[in-house]
Amino acid sequence: MPDDGQPSLRTARRGDLPLLHGIAAEALRYDADAADVLDLLWQGTADRPDLRIVAEVDGRVAGFALGSLGPGPAPAPDGTAPPRVGHTNLLAVAADHRGRGHGRALLAGIEERLAAAGAGKLVIRGSAPHYAWPGIDIRYTPAVCLAESAGYERTADAFNMSTDLGAADLETGADERRLAAAGVRVRRLEAGDEPRFSAWMRSWGGTWQAEAATALTYDPPRCHVAVQGEGPEEEFVGFACHGVNRRTWFGPMGTAESQRGRGVGAVLLRRCLRDQRDAGLTGAEIGWTGPVGFYARTVGSRLDRVFRTYAKEPA
């Protein structure tokens, strides 16, 4: 251990994962799938292993941090390139090493590596497509305090909603027949849909195409779609995914503007939640919720988790 009392930082290795799983499981007390979260975010750094850091004290792993570098954004209208965004996705310190500044050392270490990788802005918020959460769940109070003491400014709050799958009305038969009579069919996405579906998803912008593509890696695919037409003339007009990154989570979802207000989204939502219920889940979490009223009316969802998102400029 260095004389200044700070831990030694190094790049994490695959062999560290068993220890990191233990630290994550103890630290993420509000996330029962902590092991899966760690695996998801570890996978998201596959092309940048330097953004996996562990802190060691006397040769023992005392904590870790995982970061990621966002894709290069499109140039602004004046031709200037906006800065790439560096994300701190997960930071955890072993229980018997807290209160010693190890978290601050890990955060500073991941920030330094992100800046060296080209990040012109540092954030603590969801990093798609390997998306684990919108930001810091405010119940993880030490994490909020660490971010604010490190100079991060609060940018926004985000909300998740919880749905009781045992109590929610997930029946869709009557609505599907009504939509079919109007020329809109709802079905599960199929592997053969991938080329056309991915092309259509790119029209939504952002990272939804990459997230939805992950749904096709499961058997059966964790995505339902609304379509118009038949055969070569078939067109996608809506989609909804579940369990893309976290098994209990729902989203993303979108409906073509031409179909909004007809109940397409409600059918897609219920079909996804029914999949989750049939898989043995008792509850589902709707991540980074936008239309709160829609989910509350349709399946009785309620506001639950509150997240803070943060940003700052590199030093």
Query: In terms of domains, do 235 and 125 share one?
Result: no
Number of C-beta neighbours around residue 29 at 10 A: 10
Q: What is the per-residue pLDDT for 4? A: 52
Average pLDDT over residues 77-100: 90
Distance of alpha carbon 156 from alpha carbon 124, whole angstroms: 11
Q: Is 84 helix (H, G, I), strand (E, B) or coil?
A: strand
Could you read off the pLDDT of 198-211 as tens digits, one per residue? 999 999 988 889 99
> In this model, does residue 24 exceed pLDDT 90?
yes
Could you read off the pLDDT of 219-229 as tens digits, one per residue? 999 999 999 99
Q: How far is CA 265 from CA 13, 63, 85, 171, 241, in A?
A: 43, 42, 32, 13, 11
Query: In terms of domains, do 170 and 44 share one?
Result: no
Residue 14 lies in a domain: yes
* 119-124 vs 136-137, strand pairing mode: unpaired
Q: What is the per-residue pLDDT for 1? A: 39
Residue 235 lies in a domain: yes
Query: In terms of domains, do 185 and 260 share one?
Result: yes
Q: What is the per-residue pLDDT for 315? A: 84
Percent of the chain with pLDDT over 70: 97
Residue 38 lies in a domain: yes
Query: In terms of domains, do 116 and 173 share one?
Result: no
How high is the mean pLDDT of the chain?
Answer: 94
Dump the DSSP string for 243-262.
Answer: SSSSTTEEEEEEE-GGGTTT
Smallest Cα–Cα separation from 114: which of 146, 145, 91, 92?
Answer: 91
Query: In terms of domains, do 192 and 253 share one?
Result: yes
Residue 221 lies in a domain: yes
Distance of alpha carbon 20 from alpha carbon 66, whole angstroms: 11
Q: Which amino acid is at 75?
A: P
Q: Which amino acid is at 124?
A: I
Q: What is the per-residue pLDDT for 128? A: 87
Residue 153 lies in a domain: yes
Q: What is the per-residue pLDDT for 240? A: 98
Residue 184 lies in a domain: yes
9 forms beta bridges with 55
The more confident residue out of 29 and 71 is 29
Domain count, the chain: 2
Distance of alpha carbon 20 from alpha carbon 93, whole angstroms: 9
Distance of alpha carbon 115 from alpha carbon 145, whole angstroms: 22
Query: In terms of domains, do 172 and 247 share one?
Result: yes
Residue 287 lies in a domain: no
For residues 272 and 242, the answer to whether their CB atoms sit within 8 Å is yes
Query: In terms of domains, do 71 and 136 share one?
Result: yes
Q: What is the per-residue pLDDT for 294? A: 97
Band of residue 73 on the pLDDT scale cut at 50, 70, 90:
low
Smallest Cα–Cα separation from 263: which of 167, 168, 186?
Answer: 186
Report the C-alpha dihedral over residues 37, 42, 47, 53, rounded to 10 degrees.
Answer: 130
Q: What is the per-residue pLDDT for 74? A: 66
Domain hosting 108: range is 8-157+307-312
Distance of alpha carbon 11 from alpha carbon 242, whole angstroms: 33
Distance of alpha carbon 129 from alpha carbon 213, whole angstroms: 10
Average pLDDT over residues 219-246: 96
Residue 261 lies in a domain: yes
Distance of alpha carbon 236 from alpha carbon 234, whole angstroms: 7
pTM for the whole thing? 0.92
Query: In terms of domains, do 255 and 228 share one?
Result: yes
Could you read off the pLDDT of 252-295 as tens digits, one per residue? 999 999 999 999 999 999 999 999 999 999 999 999 998 999 99
Query: In terms of domains, do 113 and 249 share one?
Result: no
CATH number at residue 61: 3.40.630.30
Could you read off the pLDDT of 119-172 as tens digits, one per residue? 999 999 999 889 899 999 999 999 999 999 999 999 999 999 999 999 999 999
- Secondary structure letter of residue 293 according to DSSP: H
Query: In terms of domains, do 31 and 67 share one?
Result: yes
Query: In terms of domains, do 213 and 132 share one?
Result: no
Q: What is the per-residue pLDDT for 5? A: 64
Q: What is the per-residue pLDDT for 2? A: 44
Query: In terms of domains, do 195 and 134 share one?
Result: no
Band of residue 3 on the pLDDT scale cut at 50, 70, 90:
very low
